Structure 1
Amino acid sequence: MELFEWYIIRATGTVAYVLLYLAVLTGLFSQVQKRRKKKVTSTLYLHESLSNWALILTCGHVLFLLIDSYISFQWFEVLIPFKSHYKMLPMALGSLAFYFLIMTVITSKARKKIGYQKWRRLHGLNPILYILVTIHGLFIGSDFQGIVIAAANIVPLLILGVLLLFDRKKTQAIQH
């Protein structure tokens, strides 16, 4: 049973990370599209759906950690940062990222109630979430080499940066 648990823990964590990665890309892409004055309804729906599924898979990841018989985590080791006997720092980063993800999804669903400006400030903290998850995955025992994760994260950001730069030059040319 231990091997099955290990695969499920790794799979839920990896798929949650990929979904979060795609949510970040669609969120950034929607910002580029907004600057271009394009409709982003379907992109934002995809962004929200990816974020919701990332949270669902992360909850599964946490639950499977709690039933893992090889390491035998106690609930507080998984849910309270810096309380784990196993790789304390990466586990703490994973716990903190879990709370950031919960906050992100809840505040996004309550955007109208809390106000757009407050939501925007809270949503602006999401790079912290993504960095925490990435470091957690790299140091807890990633299935991917660091260079693969670095390339997967840097290349799309460079592309989006070029798109934003191109849009800024295009906007400046139109204004003059």
Structure 2
Amino acid sequence: MESFEWYVIRATGTVAYLLLYLSVIIGLYTQVQKKRKQKITITLHLHETLANWAFFMVCGHLGFLLIDSYISFKWAEVLIPSNTTYKPLPMAMGIISFYFLIITIVTSKARKKIGYQRWRKLHALNPILYVLVTLHGLFIGTDFQGGVLAVVNIVPLIIMGGLLLKGQQKLNMSN
């Protein structure tokens, strides 16, 4: 049973990370499309849906941590940063990431009620979420090597940055 729990913990964490990764990439692509004055309804919906599913997978990840018989985490250890003896810093990064994800999803759902400007400021904090969850996976897991994570994260950002610059140049030329 221990190996099953271990595999499910790893799988839910990995899938949550991949969904978050795709949500980030699509969110950045949505910004490129917005700057190009393109329709963003479908990509925006996909961005939000992927983030929601990442949240569900993180909840599954936490749930399986609680029933894992090898380490036997308690609620406080998976919900309060630095309240565990098992890799306290990477665990804290994961817990703080979880709270950032909750804030992101709740404020995105309440975007109209809290106002677009306030939502935008809160949404601008999401790079912190992404960096923390990446470090959490890098320091606590053995599934991904640092070089692989670096390439997977840096290459799309370079591409998106290039697309944003290209879109900005086209916008400047048309004015």
TM-score (norm 1): 0.98
Q: Aligned-pair distance for 1:174?
A: 1.7
Once the two structures are superposed, residues 88-129 of structure 1 have per-residue CA deviations (whole angstroms, 9 ceiling, x without a partner) of 000000000000001101110011111111111100000000
Match of 2:169 in 1: 169
Displaced runs of 4+ in structure 1, greater than 2 A? none
Distance in 1 (CA, whole Å) between partners of 2:142 and 2:46 is 27
**DSSP 3-state at the match of 1:37:** coil
**Counterparts in 2 of 1:13-162, with a 5 A limit?**
13-162=13-162
Distance in 2 (CA, whole Å) between partners of 1:159 and 1:35 is 15
Letter matched to residue 163 of structure 1: L
Distance in 2 (CA, whole Å) between partners of 1:34 and 1:131 is 25
Distance in 1 (CA, whole Å) between partners of 2:34 and 2:167 is 11
- Unaligned 5+ segments in structure 1 are none
Distance in 2 (CA, whole Å) between partners of 1:90 and 1:110 is 30
Distance in 1 (CA, whole Å) between partners of 2:106 and 2:66 is 23
- TM-align CA RMSD: 0.6
**DSSP 3-state at the match of 2:102:** helix
Distance in 1 (CA, whole Å) between partners of 2:142 and 2:29 is 27
Distance in 1 (CA, whole Å) between partners of 2:40 and 2:135 is 31
Q: Percent of pairs identical after alignment?
A: 67
Count of residue pairs brought into register by the alignment: 175
TM-score (norm 2): 0.98
Distance in 2 (CA, whole Å) between partners of 1:102 and 1:174 is 40
Q: Aligned-pair distance for 1:74?
A: 1.2
